[in-house]
């Protein structure tokens, strides 16, 4: 197999940008999960992203930019959007805004919708790629559609092999769970996907109530019931696993079960960071049945439980 994984050096970042300029596809690190990036202004790049991921065309991509000014050229930023962008960007927050007319983003990248999901990632390598490339990058998570996201370069290679031109390796992702997505198109702010920026964080910034996606109709395929799914059958909130179940623990270990502990210190951030590599490891081990310990449903714990619930459907 040709060499695909490259370390995050300046010369390799330039290589990545050359590939993007030629409408190629690059796997790159962000602070949330690895992204599968292509030029958001290139029809053929967008087509390739959907094909390679086997992603349904009705599932729009998040558009990544380097600066707020760039975001404002393609999306309409009302006061709420501006306030959140100023508070949390660069960082793991995606804002769903109205699309600006006459922007150069390929319409298929946003599934021909009137809205657009935009974010500025904080990972320095992602930012360097975005800054040098100078144009928006459409980047869904670097995994096959419906399966578990990639949190290191090997995950990306395992999913795509040499179907992509290059993967920039920056080790494990800082958060390990996808960005929080918030619909800020009206004054009724809605969380479409939980992430490491929590409802409380948003509330503290805006000082207003945030609606849960459960209260609103499905407008984002990330809300679909089954998503982020490994091959194994998963049961959640289990204190005592069955004999034939592999156990994903949190905090204390059960000596009787075959276990991977998400965090011996009951640290939710550590658990989020280890979640996807653990689910991938379980599939690699050929394990069929998994029980997961109760995870406190607070802060990023809500995002962990949300992903596990979809994985267990």
- The Cα–Cα gap between 280 and 95 comes to 29
- Using the contact rule CB under 5 A, the part of the chain among 110-118, 135-143, 197-205, 236-244 near Mg ion is 135-143
* Partner whose binding site includes residue 62, from Mg ion, ligand AMP, none (CB under 5 to 8 Å by kind): ligand AMP
* Partner whose binding site includes residue 110, from Mg ion, ligand AMP, none (CB under 5 to 8 Å by kind): ligand AMP
Closest distance between Mg ion and the C-beta of residue 66, in Å? 22
CB closer to ligand AMP out of 19 and 61: 61
Closest distance between Mg ion and the C-beta of residue 72, in Å? 25
Q: Which residues bind ligand AMP (CB under 6 A)?
A: 59-62, 96, 110, 113, 115-117, 140-141, 178, 181, 219-222
- The Cα–Cα gap between 7 and 125 comes to 11
* Partner whose binding site includes residue 115, from ligand AMP, Mg ion, none (CB under 5 to 8 Å by kind): ligand AMP
CA torsion, points 62, 68, 71, 73, in degrees to nearest 10?
180
User: Residue-wise over 46-60: b if at least 16 C-beta within 10 A, else e?
Assistant: bbbbbebbebeeebb
Rule CB under 5 A: say whether 141 interacts with Mg ion: yes
Directed axis angle between helix 153-160 and helix 268-284, to 10°? 30
* Partner whose binding site includes residue 60, from ligand AMP, Mg ion, none (CB under 5 to 8 Å by kind): ligand AMP
Closest distance between Mg ion and the C-beta of residue 120, in Å? 18
Question: How many other CB atoms are there within 10 angstroms of residue 312's CB atom?
Answer: 18
Q: What Cα–Cα distance (Å) separates residue 4 from each residue in 16, 28, 47, 171, 179?
A: 11, 12, 21, 15, 26
CB closer to ligand AMP out of 151 and 249: 151
């Amino acid at each position: 197999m040709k060499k695909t994984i490259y370390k995050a050096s300046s010369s390799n970042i330039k290589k990545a940008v050359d590939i993007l300029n030629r409408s190629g596809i690059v796997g790159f690190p962000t602070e949330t999960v690895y992204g599968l990036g292509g030029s958001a202004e290139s029809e053929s790049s967008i087509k390739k992203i959907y094909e390679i991921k086997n992603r349904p065309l009705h599932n729009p991509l998040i558009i990544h930019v380097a600066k707020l000014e760039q975001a404002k050229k393609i999306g309409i930023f009302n006061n709420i959007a501006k306030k959140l962008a100023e508070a949390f960007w660069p960082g793991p927050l995606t804002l769903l805004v109205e699309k600006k007319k006459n922007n150069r983003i390929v319409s298929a990248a946003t599934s021909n919708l009137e809205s657009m999901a935009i974010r500025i990632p904080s990972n320095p390598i992602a930012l360097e790629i975005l800054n040098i490339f100078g144009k928006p990058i459409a980047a869904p998570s670097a995994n096959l559609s419906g399966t578990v996201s990639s949190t290191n370069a090997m995950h990306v290679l395992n999913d795509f092999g040499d179907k992509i031109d290059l993967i920039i390796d920056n080790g494990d992702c800082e958060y390990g769970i996808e960005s929080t997505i918030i619909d800020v198109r009206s004054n009724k702010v809605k969380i479409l996907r939980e992430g490491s920026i929590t409802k409380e964080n948003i509330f503290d910034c805006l000082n207003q109530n945030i609606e849960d996606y459960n209260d609103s109709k499905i407008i984002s395929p990330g809300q679909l019931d089954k998503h982020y799914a490994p091959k194994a059958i998963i049961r959640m909130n289990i204190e005592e696993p069955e004999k034939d179940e592999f156990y994903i623990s949190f905090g204390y270990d059960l000596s009787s079960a075959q276990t991977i502990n998400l965090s011996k210190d009951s640290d939710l951030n550590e658990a989020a960071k280890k979640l996807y590599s653990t689910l991938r490891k379980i599939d690699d081990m050929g394990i069929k049945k998994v029980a997961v310990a109760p995870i406190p449903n607070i802060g990023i714990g809500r995002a962990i439980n949300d992903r596990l619930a979809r994985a267990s459907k």
